[in-house]
Structure 1
């Protein structure tokens, strides 16, 4: 998991885009994200002076706390992404043979080598000569996601 630096910034809101906004501080613009729930708890308005604390991500600051200048902080909670009901975090060793066996057992015909990701394998497969599908298989051999295979990604 990447490490994100904690930052504290004070400035003026320049533009608002739903739950994201730009903040001008010392002639520098920062993109900040409150998230949908945070935007409900703290009304964003152009021209308002604020201070915030959060994690600096590559593209934006994920706001953890925000306050109007001189006001009290509002805590902002960012929920983790929800995956499908079959999704589990990996347990045990990452063995591509387990992923291929699970795909075959479920009636798919895989091609090529499984692509190793931090928490799963991606396998290109199809059923009975049908469309190519990208399967996400966790390390225990559970297929938890099926999606249309991107021709550029897979070289189709």
Structure 2
């Protein structure tokens, strides 16, 4: 049996995909891998050649980075304690920006990154200014009227 929590890296062929888990076969055999609670971060199909990094936990690899052949590496950070898996993509604001735009708002200024979310100032078609808190995976956690006196929005509102 392979040691638990040991860092590992494998390259192989995806032979099965089911929800957040998939099987990768390499020269040593088949390995069950887990993408966590956000499997949509990676579009995997049977036959894809991948390289993944992560930690072996029990009978599976908890993926922290995956690269499809010819593609760029997708980083997946896991955090949360007490058995809770909160999987997020590394600080790429594009998902957060897209979520705000889908709500019908124009993004003003650059998103402000925190360790676990982005803060984005949005403006509706009617001119309403709203502060969005968006998780790193693109899920909107909250929105509230923007405090225009807050120093964090000074550069975003300077051009209004």
Q: TM-score, normalised by structure 1?
A: 0.47
If each structure's strand is expressed as a fraction of its own residues, which one has the higher value?
2
